[in-house]
Structure 1
Amino acid sequence: MHKEIVDSKFLESMSGKRPFLKRMFTVFISQEPKRIQEIKDALQSQDVERLRHLAHSLKGGAATIGVDRVRECCLNLEKASKAKDMKAALTHLDSLEKEMRNAYAFMFDYLAEH
């Protein structure tokens, strides 16, 4: 089964808190591109500790707003950095960037519709 971009159960649980959810999405869209750039920089400079930390903190942020596929990519990136496997980390970064684009698109649509 393919996971949803944003977990529908999470969205349902937030249906009465739409302004709050919109604010969370807005913050995610405005903050996270910077963190993705920091992840890329850490990967390029082979800073595994920083990479692990960044992946871990993005994982937490993603979990909070129900973007499970992003959370999974972060978990994989975190594991790769712990194992100091930069080749795997690069692959996971590609997946992460793709899932982040999906998440942004979903959030932009949501914000436009509500």
Structure 2
Amino acid sequence: MPDRHEEERSEEGSVGLPDLGDNIDSLTFEQILEMDDDEEEREFSKSIVFSFFEQAVQTFKKMDDALKEGDLKQLSSLGHFLKGSSATLGLTKVKDSCEKIQHFGQMKDEAGTTDVDDKNLCLSRIKQTLATVKVEYAEVEKVLKKFYAS
């Protein structure tokens, strides 16, 4: 039976990844993995990923608090912050949802192109999107923890 790494290697000689699902852009994530000195330990990429987990949990708590306070500016800022971190790792659905939160916090539509004059509508959209992004985050956290445990 081939070892784990033989199984994962693609024909192009890259590290090759197990199926990370639709939530993670494998090309972007693979660029992070290429920075690891040791393919067995993966200390560098693991530290980045697990730091992101901590950062995301803290940011979600701040978003919950800002939502309770109706602080659109803070919600937009936090959405922008988490969008950047998740994009770096290739967490596409998390990134896209955070971008929507950023736009809603700026009182725009989800694409950020049209002004929305209703603060309560924007807060309601953020509440829905925040619930969605937490589910998307939980999915990628599960996949990545499994990847680093193997």
What residue number does 2:148 align with? 111
What residue number does 1:14 align with? 32
In structure 2, which of residues 95, 98, 109 is the aligned counterpart of residue 71 of structure 1? 95
How many pairs were matched up? 111
- Give the letter for the 1:103 counterpart: V
**3-state SS in 1 of match to 2:90:** coil
Gaps of 5+ in 1: none
1:53 Cα shift?
0.6
Give the TM-score taking structure 2 as reference length: 0.69
Q: Any runs of at least 4 consecutive aligned residues in structure 1 with deviations exceeding 2 A, and if so which?
A: 11-20
1:1-114 aligned within 5 A: 4-18=22-36, 19-83=43-107, 84=119, 85-113=122-150
Distance 2:32 2:53 in 1: 18
**3-state SS in 2 of match to 1:109:** helix
Distance 1:43 1:71 in 2: 19
| Higher relative contact order, structure no. (Cα contacts within 8 Å, ≥ 6 residues apart) | 1
Bigger Rg, which one? 2
Gaps of 5+ in 2: 1-20, 37-42, 108-118
Give the TM-score taking structure 1 as reference length: 0.89
**3-state SS in 2 of match to 1:14:** helix
Measured on the aligned residues, the alpha-carbon RMSD in Å equals 1.5
